[in-house]
Structure 1
């Protein structure tokens, strides 16, 4: 989704933290901080903190509220999280991404004429992950009951005043929504009228969803009455959603509309607690989720950029933009070919991809005179002592893996497919983010998504199904690690971030925006670390986007997803001198007043014992601190 905003024009020199005005004030707090994609959802987090909950409780309450408000996601989507546990002083990762259902095979989708799984409807759905992820986090790391945490979301499901952004999205997508009877029943509150969607400010009631949430709370209460522990009672709600009557109605409603998800698919799925990936950048430990997300792109980019003096280049100077653009092209080329579900073979060469030596080799490929439109994936296998099993596949695609040469991309990857407007829309496809922290030391960063409008609702559950199947590939030549098969997770764009310094939380940050997420998070992080910006300044600062990558979302044909080498999106305030220099280097420029999805972040001020919250001015994202 697109959010329009205005930014002040920045100079291309290095900025001091005090030199830059922001449109929104920085948030300050000493007890807790709650930031997410909607004001009402941030309020749900604040209410949960006021009840005595910790940051995990508050994050779960905000997640539930954003799903209920259809903030570019719903209850049937997926949840990805990083949590800092102050008791163990470690960062843990939560993998609550759904999997491809029974029957979701390459042959199945190809028989329907697809080059990629569809982007909408029941065949786009992985199994729902958000309910399981929320319940797992709450049971293991929260303190409150499910009933307490879901209370704001349940009140919203009973009726809340819908904001214009969601209401207008429903109206724009009403013809698609009309294909699915349960979606039509929920979303089109004025059938037959000129405007069939709700109006801004209209009280939007979701009776079916309220019933689903009520059933989950009833399961918790029944378990507590039987003497079950708090954790077991919350997991009783989990069982009712994934194995009980909620699951039966979800599966019935999905299959009625042509979906593939079975009761066995729901029963077998479970959220996973994982070790996050980490690398150190100039004394700061940066954490990301594993390679089933695009998160390692940020770590690879920082490894490459350690080889350059970025600060001396100046913020958004021609040299700085060029260096970051080339770095992002290198890392996204690796993402596009090597990332996938680590629980399925073949096993990704993640150790080699994150090697400092590999990064140094990749940095040596950057040309300073011009954009290199032929950059492709490298060969990380030697950096972990293994032989690349796909050398022949890469060569068949036209990649040159001799590191003394610079021709790295297949010629058929350098065509223009879809229109620039369509491409940019797919590049920016959004989600929401949740950031929470408390004085006890708990920190949570979540990038949930899936089930966005136009969502296909599964029966009478009120739950919109995920659209994440589209991030699989059907052709192993594109990415042999991310080929669809039942039970497998697609490689997603969703990518929360967390950084520690001197063993303590430094900054927690996340952004929405499809393939641009780690592009914008990289620039946000460098704004703070290299240019001394506050988290609010960094969240509002002008970024730029590369289009020289394979799209992860949108379109069912190969031409819809192909890279656009040399295409760069710049902020409209970019000086004429920088524009002219980039054109001479072979770039194709486009401009907008929005160059980033909304960034939300929390900075930890250990000197003063307080939090600094940043919430982007790019959309409706909002934060509350105390």
Structure 2
């Protein structure tokens, strides 16, 4: 494998003995033949594997795993959140995209916000609610490519919620412990039983969620969007001053969309088009392809500087152009074109950090879970689902065992902004599944959760795989850097070039070199994103799975 911008030769991933022996010793890449599920919680991954063994497709496994994740990792995801997916269907020989994100209430507008004196949309308020899209996404996936049926896929999640499960280390010590009852009174009855915060290792039960999921298993999405669950959502919204109505829920629809791609050194990387931020990954990679990244040392100052500068340029465009395409003309084709990347990349100074970056003219030139699954027929799915912030709005409707997301917090109240608040509109979304193909054949389902960071994670993993020849596991093990402070789709502009945050493993000498180049360096270390991936090899069919050591997760196969 050779770099398109140079002649640097690449060793073949997975089969290089020296690389295997010198790998970052966290976890091994998991290899199997018949099916695989990678997720941030082992109990959920096992539920997905059981669905495959029961004769289900990877679609059934993904729904089963996602539903279980909503039980065992409730701060990150659940039926109160939204969902996006990219699926490779072997018999059809192509990729399909699904946008199951919800829209704002019909009665929620800039005029109404002004009338109420609202100057910003508070997270812990029903004004931050959009219609949750997750359940509609499950139904569309199940009806089109599932074999088990939605009710069967929900059985493991119902059992986990009803019978209980031990809290894993990260969920017990970080997610639950971060929200004492006095900070989140509207979810305390569900997540703080007996007035106590469950701890790592405690058995946690959620009988209300078991009832909610059982109703969906019995009556389908109508139980959520038209039945007692819908009534409970609307009642809670009205009680707390929100705008959600039964009409909003009943009128919700998810949509099939065409994934979009950019070719990176012979590999096609696929993302979901806006209202999400996926195309910023393609913009970043298009610019980086113009440099011989593979000739550089991984995570050297030279390597990281180019990545950061490309990210800055892409995110400035993101702040201006990305929006719900039903409400704005989003120039996707132009933004992800090679010609536009060349024009933007000319603005990168290889020796100096930019502190004042402008968006281009393409017309001229939280918390989240990510999981993936694959089956014996060659089908693969990349799925991401989220409450947005941890525990979303922190509001559970009465009688419900889940929180409603706070994605509507991302609307702008600036009437000139593309992402301004409007009735029945999808907000800007951070959650993005990804997929990779080569020569029109499926190669990898992957994703990196982490809110605003996600495009940076996708780009770093892609470089690790393609430029540095790593395995799926090794690509996720490597230390990451995050650039914060770019101009935002929610408002605000970049000041002084933003700042860099590093994980453990980036040399202090590299940080100093970057500082000398003009980058602002944040104090301390941080943790960035949560990654899963499944790589496919054919003749014979095999899957190679990787999962992030930053999480409790597992890559399981058989």
Give the counterpart of 1:26 among 15, 18, 29.
29
In structure 2, how many angstroms separate the alpha carbons of the residues matched to 1:14 and 1:90? 28
Maintained 8 Å contact 1:340/1:482: yes
1:588 pairs with 2:527:
no
- Structure 1 stretch displaced more, 533-542 or 18-27: 18-27
Maintained 8 Å contact 2:106/2:424: yes
| CA deviation after TM superposition for structure 1 residue 246, in Å | 2.6
**Cα deviation code 1:338-388 (max 9, x no counterpart):** 1010112x21111211121111100101112211111121111224xxxxx
1:202 match: 202
Residues 525 and 49 of structure 1: is their aligned pair in 2 closer, same or farther, counting only changes over 3 Å?
same
1:543 match: 480
Maintained 8 Å contact 2:130/2:407: yes
2:302 match: 319
In the TM superposition, what are the counterparts of 1:512-523 in structure 2 within 5 Å? 512-523=449-460
1:56 match: 59
In the TM superposition, what are the counterparts of 1:151-190 in structure 2 within 5 Å? 151-158=155-162, 159-168=164-173, 169-175=175-181, 178-180=184-186, 183-190=187-194
**Cα deviation code 1:545-565 (max 9, x no counterpart):** 111413568xxxx67x86562
In the TM superposition, what are the counterparts of 1:567-582 in structure 2 within 5 Å? 567-582=499-514
Give the counterpart of 2:43 among 40, 43, 48.
40
Maintained 8 Å contact 2:311/2:456: yes
In the TM superposition, what are the counterparts of 1:305-344 in structure 2 within 5 Å? 305-344=288-327
In structure 2, how many angstroms separate the alpha carbons of the residues matched to 1:563 and 1:109? 29
Residues 314 and 167 of structure 1: is their aligned pair in 2 closer, same or farther, counting only changes over 3 Å?
closer
| CA deviation after TM superposition for structure 1 residue 36, in Å | 0.9
In structure 1, how many angstroms separate the alpha carbons of the residues matched to 2:256 and 2:554? 28
2:403 match: 464
Give the counterpart of 2:444 among 499, 507, 526.
507
What is the TM-score with the length of structure 1 in the denominator?
A: 0.82
1:100 match: 104
Q: Which runs of 5+ in 2 are unaligned?
A: 1-8, 12-17
Give the counterpart of 1:140 among 139, 144, 161.
144
What is the TM-score with the length of structure 2 in the denominator?
A: 0.91
Maintained 8 Å contact 1:37/1:71: no
2:391 match: 453
In structure 2, how many angstroms separate the alpha carbons of the residues matched to 1:617 and 1:201? 19
1:371 pairs with 2:371:
no
Maintained 8 Å contact 2:169/2:552: no
| CA deviation after TM superposition for structure 1 residue 463, in Å | 2.9
1:224 match: none
Other structure's SS at 1:433 match:
strand
| CA deviation after TM superposition for structure 1 residue 35, in Å | 0.9
In the TM superposition, what are the counterparts of 1:112-511 in structure 2 within 5 Å? 115-158=119-162, 159-168=164-173, 169-175=175-181, 178-180=184-186, 183-191=187-195, 196-219=196-219, 237-344=220-327, 346-383=328-365, 429-450=366-387, 452-453=390-391, 455-476=394-415, 480-511=417-448
Maintained 8 Å contact 2:192/2:198: yes
In structure 2, how many angstroms separate the alpha carbons of the residues matched to 1:596 and 1:107? 38
| CA deviation after TM superposition for structure 1 residue 55, in Å | 0.3
1:410 match: none
In structure 2, how many angstroms separate the alpha carbons of the residues matched to 1:216 and 1:73? 17
In structure 2, how many angstroms separate the alpha carbons of the residues matched to 1:434 and 1:532? 23
**Cα deviation code 1:158-209 (max 9, x no counterpart):** 02223343344334312455432xx222122122xxxx21233333222222
2:19 match: 17
In structure 2, how many angstroms separate the alpha carbons of the residues matched to 1:430 and 1:591? 23
1:619 match: 551
1:228 match: none
In structure 2, how many angstroms separate the alpha carbons of the residues matched to 1:522 and 1:178? 35
Residues 564 and 294 of structure 1: is their aligned pair in 2 closer, same or farther, counting only changes over 3 Å?
farther
| CA deviation after TM superposition for structure 1 residue 30, in Å | 0.6
| CA deviation after TM superposition for structure 1 residue 248, in Å | 1.9
| CA deviation after TM superposition for structure 1 residue 572, in Å | 3.8
Maintained 8 Å contact 1:216/1:241: yes
Maintained 8 Å contact 1:515/1:551: no
